[in-house]
Structure 1
């Protein structure tokens, strides 16, 4: 009887260990629909900034690069935020992105690792050279953990499609303080 009991406990433990081993494996991104133009891979330097350092009602606290997680290359962006209240935002911006003309663009994609304790809503805001918001994508809910090829659909027939000055990722919704890892940001045409 003791041997049978040991087998019952050993078998579930083996399943749990096997599932942990597969959970830590790096996920290969699925192919994109369209032609991808790299906006940022975070391999060379960090050009992003936390808007919370200059906007009083924004809960972002910093940006950096990290080797903790990535989907391509060795580095990713590491974006930090303090506790976000129910209707609050944490914003992370890139001024003068490599692609300033979004004419004909279909989407912006990114690989995002949500390390917070809650799912987070995220959307992308595109601003003109005059700091006017010219487009805001739909909110997408990020699950806890890895979210690969998150696709933010664009409508680029707007008046200022050729005069893009900044790209802003905004986190919305109640959350404890935390970090978000982001990699492989692309413009898809």
Structure 2
């Protein structure tokens, strides 16, 4: 029978190499995680799990409560778990159960995990309690300014025009 292997992994350049094997965002990279840990007054830590030759990476920030207990949060932004795309929902829930048990054994009393609205959008975890906080806006940056403007709601266009009339300016630049 396949077992889940869970361990801690340092948040460093090796972490970034592992992250690069997945569909990821800036919130999963070591620089962001270290900055988030500073803001959250915690210690950056990676969790890695393997199951059936598949991998899950979860960046967390550990915050001490006392000498024995700590809590964890995902990084500011959307640093949800990165996982092999071939995981089934049941498999990823099995892995998360093992991650939960591993963290509890190490002294973690709670984990607040933000999911990425694009990377994790098809997955609804059954481990723990999932809350929908609100909508996330996305914008396709490959579209032209004209395409974006044509897709902008009338009330937002009016607000933008009003802000321009009141002296606000915007700048559109192509970045190489």
TM-score, normalised relative to structure 2: 0.32
> Relative contact order, CA 8 A, sep 6+: which one is greater?
1
Structure with more strand by fraction: 1
Structure with more helix by fraction: 2
